[in-house]
Amino acid sequence: MTVRPRIILAAADNRQRRRLRVLFEAHGYYVQATATQDEALHALDVSVPQIVVHAPSAEGANGKTPEIELTARLRAATSAALIVLTATPGETPVVDALAAGADDAIAPPHARGELIARLELAMRRARRTPERRLHVCGDLVLDLEARELTIEDRHVVLTRLEYRLLEELVIAAGHLVSHDDLLTRVWGPAHRGRLQYLRVYIGRLRQKIEQAGARVPITNVPGLGYRLDREANGSAGANGSAGANGSAGANGSAGANGSAGAEAKD
């Protein structure tokens, strides 16, 4: 069975949203349509699309260009191809959308043939991206192309934020990543210092890894940050909790019930 490419459509105007959904679905795409910023960002938090289409209304908040308001937030939330259908004609809205992080921007009128051609172009670009796989630790494999975590060939479902956090640790595997660096890269600079975010999401990652039957390779360095251990024998003891080799302190690994345990104390 062929899996249909997934599009998250963010369109505030009901009529436009219905028209675009019908058009995209008629050309073989699976469309998840959202009407508000919160709905669009939530959709990105629980699914991984190939394309995000942002079709803002002509009304902007606080006098700001509407293309910029949500486009920047969508760009921060996903690495998928981001296409903006600007609400007003002219060069300036297109330039603003591209500057805000869009991969492509189309000014009105939005001809159907052009829209589908732009979607197909985005899909071709995605397919040309070389496969990148990083082996995290032992049986843990994070596929950066598919944005998936597998453990012994079993897929582990992660939310967008859980994936982004693990991705940052994987990229820096073997090296300490400070609390503020993780918070800035995953949540944005406005969240520096909010250690509770890290405690909650690190706890969730540990729980999911343990429930999948693998050792937890995430080390907590109290007061400093987190590190993903390269070798399986340095990540956890035989029971999946921290051993005495220093891979995670007693307050840094998940407890037997898979929760973050005393992690919240650091």
Q: Please provide the DSSP assignment of 52-112 as one string.
A: EEEE--S--GGG--HHHHHHHHHHHH--SEEEEE-SS-SHHHHHHHHHTT-SEEEPSS--H
Helix (H/G/I), strand (E/B), else coil: 236: coil
Domain with 206 in it: what CATH number? 1.10.10.10
Burial pattern 106-145, b for ≥16 Cβ within 10 A else e, equals: bbeebeeeebbebbeebeeeeeeeeeeeeebbbbbbbebe
Q: Can the peptide bond before residue 109 be classed as cis, meaning omega within 30 degrees of 0?
A: yes
CA–CA separation, 179 and 80 (whole Å): 26
Give yes or no: residues 23 and 91 share one domain: yes
Amino acid at 86: T
Give yes or no: residues 90 and 143 share one domain: no
Give yes or no: residues 74 and 172 share one domain: no
Q: How many domains does the chain have?
A: 2
Give yes or no: residues 169 and 75 share one domain: no
pLDDT of residue 239: 34
Question: Which of the pair, 243 or 67, is modelled with greater confidence?
Answer: 67
* Residues forming beta bridges with residue 106, ordered by sequence position: 85
- Last residue of one domain, picked from the residues 128, 157, 185: 128
Question: Which of the pair, 164 or 238, is modelled with greater confidence?
Answer: 164
Residue 199: both structure tokens together: 């405690």
- Last residue of one domain, picked from the residues 128, 154, 182: 128
Domain with 75 in it: what CATH number? 3.40.50.2300
Give yes or no: residues 31 and 85 share one domain: yes
- In terms of residue numbers, what domain contains 147? 133-265
pLDDT of residue 146: 66
CA–CA separation, 242 and 158 (whole Å): 23
CA–CA separation, 185 and 208 (whole Å): 22
Q: For the full predicted model, state whether its pTM sits above 0.95.
A: no
CA–CA separation, 77 and 38 (whole Å): 12
Give yes or no: residues 156 and 259 share one domain: yes
Give yes or no: residues 51 and 175 share one domain: no
Classify residue 84: in a domain, yes or no.
yes
CA–CA separation, 28 and 51 (whole Å): 13
The winner for highest mean pLDDT among 49-53, 231-235, 254-258 is 49-53
Cβ of 50: how many Cβ atoms within 10 Å? 18
Give yes or no: residues 85 and 164 share one domain: no
Tokens 């998940």 correspond to: 254
Classify residue 1: in a domain, yes or no.
no
Give yes or no: residues 117 and 203 share one domain: no
Q: Give 68-108 pLDDT, tens digit per residue.
A: 778 888 988 888 899 999 988 999 989 999 988 899 999 99
Give yes or no: residues 15 and 122 share one domain: yes
What is the percent of the chain where pLDDT is above 70?
76
**C-alpha neighbours within 13 Å on the C-beta side of residue 179:** 16
- Last residue of one domain, picked from the residues 75, 93, 128: 128
Residue 124 has pLDDT above 80, yes or no: yes
Give yes or no: residues 97 and 167 share one domain: no
Give yes or no: residues 50 and 80 share one domain: yes
CA–CA separation, 161 and 159 (whole Å): 6
State the chain's mean pLDDT as an integer: 78
CA–CA separation, 71 and 160 (whole Å): 17
Cβ pair 97, 71 in contact under 8 A: yes
Strands 133-137 and 140-143: antiparallel
